[in-house]
Amino acid sequence: TYFAPEARAALDGLGFRGFWMGYFAARSAPLGKVPADVVTAAFYNFTPERVAKALPAAWEIASPVDAIDAREKSAVAALRRSGVS
Protein backbone atom coordinates (compact mmCIF):
# COMPACT_ATOMS: atom_id res chain seq x y z
CA THR A 1 0.00 0.00 0.00
CA TYR A 2 2.95 2.36 0.48
CA PHE A 3 3.25 2.89 -3.27
CA ALA A 4 -0.44 3.63 -3.90
CA PRO A 5 -1.22 7.29 -4.61
CA GLU A 6 -3.73 7.23 -1.75
CA ALA A 7 -1.00 6.32 0.72
CA ARG A 8 1.35 9.03 -0.50
CA ALA A 9 -1.44 11.63 -0.28
CA ALA A 10 -2.44 10.53 3.23
CA LEU A 11 1.12 10.52 4.56
CA ASP A 12 1.95 13.83 2.88
CA GLY A 13 -1.27 15.16 4.43
CA LEU A 14 0.11 14.40 7.88
CA GLY A 15 3.11 16.55 7.05
CA PHE A 16 5.74 13.89 6.47
CA ARG A 17 8.46 15.22 4.17
CA GLY A 18 9.17 13.01 1.19
CA PHE A 19 8.42 9.41 0.38
CA TRP A 20 10.88 7.79 2.78
CA MET A 21 9.76 9.67 5.87
CA GLY A 22 6.16 8.64 5.24
CA TYR A 23 7.19 5.09 4.38
CA PHE A 24 9.25 4.52 7.51
CA ALA A 25 6.72 6.26 9.75
CA ALA A 26 3.76 4.27 8.42
CA ARG A 27 5.59 0.95 8.35
CA SER A 28 7.18 1.28 11.80
CA ALA A 29 4.21 2.94 13.52
CA PRO A 30 2.95 -0.32 15.10
CA LEU A 31 6.25 -0.45 17.03
CA GLY A 32 5.54 2.96 18.59
CA LYS A 33 7.97 5.90 18.76
CA VAL A 34 11.04 3.76 18.32
CA PRO A 35 14.41 5.21 17.27
CA ALA A 36 16.02 4.69 13.89
CA ASP A 37 18.32 1.89 15.07
CA VAL A 38 15.34 -0.26 16.07
CA VAL A 39 13.72 0.24 12.67
CA THR A 40 17.01 -0.44 10.89
CA ALA A 41 17.30 -3.74 12.77
CA ALA A 42 13.66 -4.69 12.25
CA PHE A 43 13.58 -3.89 8.53
CA TYR A 44 17.14 -5.13 7.95
CA ASN A 45 17.62 -4.23 4.28
CA PHE A 46 17.79 -0.43 4.66
CA THR A 47 20.97 1.45 5.50
CA PRO A 48 21.04 3.10 8.91
CA GLU A 49 21.59 6.46 7.20
CA ARG A 50 18.41 6.10 5.11
CA VAL A 51 16.29 5.33 8.18
CA ALA A 52 17.93 8.04 10.29
CA LYS A 53 16.92 10.69 7.75
CA ALA A 54 13.28 9.88 8.54
CA LEU A 55 13.21 8.79 12.17
CA PRO A 56 12.82 10.01 14.86
CA ALA A 57 12.03 13.33 13.10
CA ALA A 58 8.77 11.86 11.78
CA TRP A 59 7.46 11.52 15.33
CA GLU A 60 7.76 15.28 15.81
CA ILE A 61 5.36 15.71 12.88
CA ALA A 62 2.72 13.07 13.59
CA SER A 63 2.19 10.29 16.11
CA PRO A 64 2.42 6.57 15.36
CA VAL A 65 -1.35 6.37 15.93
CA ASP A 66 -1.90 9.04 13.25
CA ALA A 67 0.42 7.18 10.86
CA ILE A 68 -1.44 3.90 11.41
CA ASP A 69 -4.78 5.63 10.85
CA ALA A 70 -3.54 7.22 7.62
CA ARG A 71 -2.11 3.91 6.42
CA GLU A 72 -5.34 2.05 7.14
CA LYS A 73 -7.61 4.63 5.50
CA SER A 74 -5.39 4.95 2.44
CA ALA A 75 -5.20 1.16 2.05
CA VAL A 76 -8.98 0.93 2.13
CA ALA A 77 -9.24 3.73 -0.44
CA ALA A 78 -6.69 2.06 -2.73
CA LEU A 79 -8.48 -1.28 -2.53
CA ARG A 80 -11.83 0.33 -3.27
CA ARG A 81 -10.33 2.16 -6.25
CA SER A 82 -9.12 -1.23 -7.47
CA GLY A 83 -12.61 -2.69 -7.20
CA VAL A 84 -12.20 -4.57 -3.93
CA SER A 85 -15.07 -4.06 -1.52
Is the C-alpha dihedral spanning 76, 60, 45, 38 positive or negative?
negative
The answer to whether 25 touches 16, Cβ cutoff 8 Å, is yes
pLDDT, one tens digit per residue, over 32-70 is 999 999 999 999 999 999 999 999 999 999 999 999 999
- State the total domains in the chain: 1
Peptide bond into 30 cis (omega under 30): no
Cβ burial of 71 (10 Å; 0-12, 13-18, 19+) is buried
- Residue numbers of the domain that contains 30: 5-82
Q: Is 0.85 surpassed by the pTM of this model?
A: yes
Is the C-alpha dihedral spanning 8, 17, 56, 14 positive or negative?
negative
